[in-house]
Amino acid sequence: MGKFRPKILFLDLVFVAELFLFALIITGVIPREAALYLAAGLAAYVLLAPLEDAVVLFIRSIPLFLALPFTTDFDNFNTWRITSAIIFLKWFAAKFSIFNFSRWQSHRGSSTRSGQFSIKSQFSKFKNLLKPSISPSFFLIVLLFLAVLSIIPTPDKIAAIKRIIYFLNFAILGVVIYDKAGNKEFAIKLIKNSIIPVVIVAAVGYIQVISTYFIDIYQFMRIWGEGIQCRQFGYEWCTIAVELGNTWFAYYGEQLSLRVFSLFPDSHSFPQFVLLGIPAVLMVVQKKWARMLILSLLFLIIILSGTRGIWAASVGVVLLATGMIIFIRKRDWVNLAYAKFTQLKRLSGYLIIFFIMFLVAFPILASPQFLIGKSDDILKARLRSILDFGETSNAQRIEIWKKTLSSIKQRPFLGVGIGNYPVVLGQDIRLAKAGSSAHNLYLHIAAEMGILAGIIFIWFLWLLFKRNYDIFVKENDKQLGIYFAATLLFVPWVLIYSLTDVAIFDERALLFALIPIAIILGTKNPTELD
């Protein structure tokens, strides 16, 4: 009998090589220009590999994608935009048989004009894909239409067009996942692989925390602000982070504490990324003790991001979970098997771990970081500040909300134009990259694109939630059942947090959010299979 040899896929080898090169580039061991060669290698793999493997590699690589240093003035164009475009073109070509010349040839004898039948059939397929229907995905098409219309009144049309292209770059990847999610085997494979980037960013987050006990604040800023972040996102961003401001620290007089941001530009998008990955962890990890251990580590690093909106949103999630359990028990019991009810109840119970981990976070946040002493009331002060409307950050948010509402009242139909939010605050358009926003996702959309766009977006999210619940009730696959139960909790957590921020628009957070959204929309429930 031959020796057992583990199966190592070429996909795994490519990913390990990418991870290794990424580490060398961001740490400055090899020049940043090596990112161009890494991008070329990833593009070649995505182009030549099977489509499913290409999508899996993309999902694994979300936190590893680097900005490409084409020139000194243009060094922030990210690798993911190239690879997602290639994936979409591969899918499009396969879906509509554009390059299947043998099929075209087979129809030549049955048509009076060469290729006529094939061309019409392929056009018909494409037209059917875009055929409107009252579904969540239809509302996204309407939002795109309103975004284009909002270019008309916008003062900076170039910024608006760039923003639309930016979102289209996300949408094309979502279309591919949506189409492939109908295959349960692929959906499960994709969900399992989405754990890998969560593990990577959580590990880097803990490395950041540990480093604060060995270096001072100036060394930390040289390493991250002037080094790693520059190599990740380009010099325009790291200049903003170092000179204009960042969200990496919590200040209390002379005291300061790290707000973990890992491989992200800020400490707001990082915890959202981790939250969106937790449903995959719950699906894959079946043993209770392992679940509790992994969730403890993930919840702790989320707390250490210091993002108060995430902390506050957890209360909303508990209320949502309680409401769903009561609704099921009283009104929907006949439609839901007891096992499903128990499943949702048990998963909801894991939320208590998040609150318990504040007891672990307290001594960490109170400990001396960056070689500076610290009192033990820093976490207490930050918790109290959530409801302190006079606190600087809260007061600024309230003022921004007032100005945003005033802008919506003045421009109710098409807003100030997509990508032009700084106009609302009387700021330079370029400050959009520095985080100028409504600090509320829903107000932000309404201010940029009009009240109708805001209503349609909220309606889309409601239909998404309803579909998520419906699929959870009817899903027969045990693994996917757990995943859909968990997304009923953790996707809303991010959406509730979005009442205080728009960090979901960060590239990595939004790319990762595409996974549960596209899988929920693309999964066929039993009634659709009839």
Q: Name the 3-class secondary structure at 31.
A: coil
315's tokens: 């209360």
Q: Are 454 and 446 in contact (CB under 8 A)?
A: yes
Strand-pair category, 255-258 with 249-252: antiparallel
What is the pLDDT at residue 335? 58
In the three-class reduction of DSSP (H, G, I as helix; E, B as strand; rest coil), residue 345 is classed as helix
Rounded CA-CA distance 322/130 in Å is 38
Look at residue 530 and tell me whether its pLDDT is greater than 50.
no
Structure tokens at 54: 């290409």
CB neighbour class for 6 (10 Å; exposed up to 12, middle 13-18, buried from 19):
exposed
Q: What is the pLDDT of residue 9?
A: 82
Nearest to 232 by CA among 453, 62, 104: 62
Share of the chain above pLDDT 70, in %: 83
Least confident interval from 235-249, 370-384, 483-497: 370-384
Q: 8 is written with which tokens? A: 């190592």
pLDDT band at 110 (very low <50, low <70, confident <90, very high): very low
At 160-208, the pLDDT tens digits run: 999 999 999 999 999 999 999 989 999 999 999 999 999 999 999 999 9
| Residue listed under structure tokens 């309407």 | 142
> What secondary structure does DSSP assign to 437-462, as a single string?
S-SSHHHHHHHHH-HHHHHHHHHHHH
Residue 429 has pLDDT above 90, yes or no: no
Position 178, amino acid: Y
Q: Please give the Cα distance from 488 to 494 (Å, whole number).
A: 11
Q: What's the pLDDT at 45?
A: 96
pLDDT surpassing 90 at residue 256: no
- Average confidence (pLDDT) over 380-398: 68
Task: Select from 77, 61, 78, 76 the least CA-distant residue to 20.
Answer: 61
Give the pLDDT confidence score for residue 103 in this predicted structure.
Answer: 45
Helix 79-95, helix 34-48: angle, nearest 10: 10
Given a cut of 60, whether residue 130 has pLDDT beyond it is no
pLDDT, residue 101, reads 41
pLDDT at residue 7 is higher than 80:
no
* pLDDT at site 21: 97
CB 304 within 8 A of CB 361: yes
Helix (H, G, I), strand (E, B) or coil at 74: coil
How far apart are alpha carbons 435 and 414 in whole angstroms?
Answer: 22
* Cα-based distances in Å from 31 to 61, 95, 221, 395: 20, 40, 20, 43
Distance of CA 112 to the CA centre of its chain: 50
Read off the pLDDT of each residue in 249-274 and give the average, rounded to a whole number. 89
What is the average pLDDT value for the chain, to the nearest integer? 86
Q: What is the pLDDT of residue 27?
A: 96
Q: Quick check: 144 pLDDT over 70? A: yes
Sorted by sequence, the CB contacts under 8 Å of residue 511 that are 6+ apart come out as 62, 80, 170, 173
Q: How far apart are CA 282 and CA 291, in angstroms?
A: 7
Most confident of 108-117, 240-249, 252-261, 299-308: 299-308
**Structural contact between residues 440 and 499, judged by C-beta atoms closer than 8 angstroms:** yes
d(CA 196, CA 273): 12
Residue range 316-327: mean pLDDT, rounded: 92
Single-letter residue type at 185: E
246, amino acid identity: N
Under DSSP, is residue 12 helix (H, G, I), strand (E, B) or coil?
helix
Per-residue pLDDT band for 428 (boundaries 50, 70, 90) equals confident
What would the pLDDT profile of 270-301 be if each residue is shown by its tens digit?
999 999 999 999 999 999 999 999 999 999 99
- Torsions phi, psi for 256 (to 5 deg): -145, 150
The pLDDT of residue 134 is above 70 = no
pLDDT surpassing 90 at residue 125: no
Residue 424 has pLDDT above 70, yes or no: yes
Element (H, E) at 15: helix 10-26
DSSP character string of 262-289? TTSSSTTHHHHHHHHHHHHHHHH--SHH
Q: Which two tokens stand for residue 351?
A: 């939320």
Is the Cβ–Cβ distance between 357 and 296 less than 8 Å?
A: yes
> Which is more confidently placed, 386 or 219?
219
Percent of residues, the chain, with pLDDT higher than 90? 65
Q: What is the pLDDT of residues 81-109, one digit of tens each?
A: 999 999 999 999 988 765 454 444 444 44
Confidence band, pLDDT 50/70/90 cuts, at residue 391: low
Tens-place pLDDT, residues 435-463: 788 999 999 999 999 999 999 999 999 99
What SS3 class is residue 517?
Answer: helix
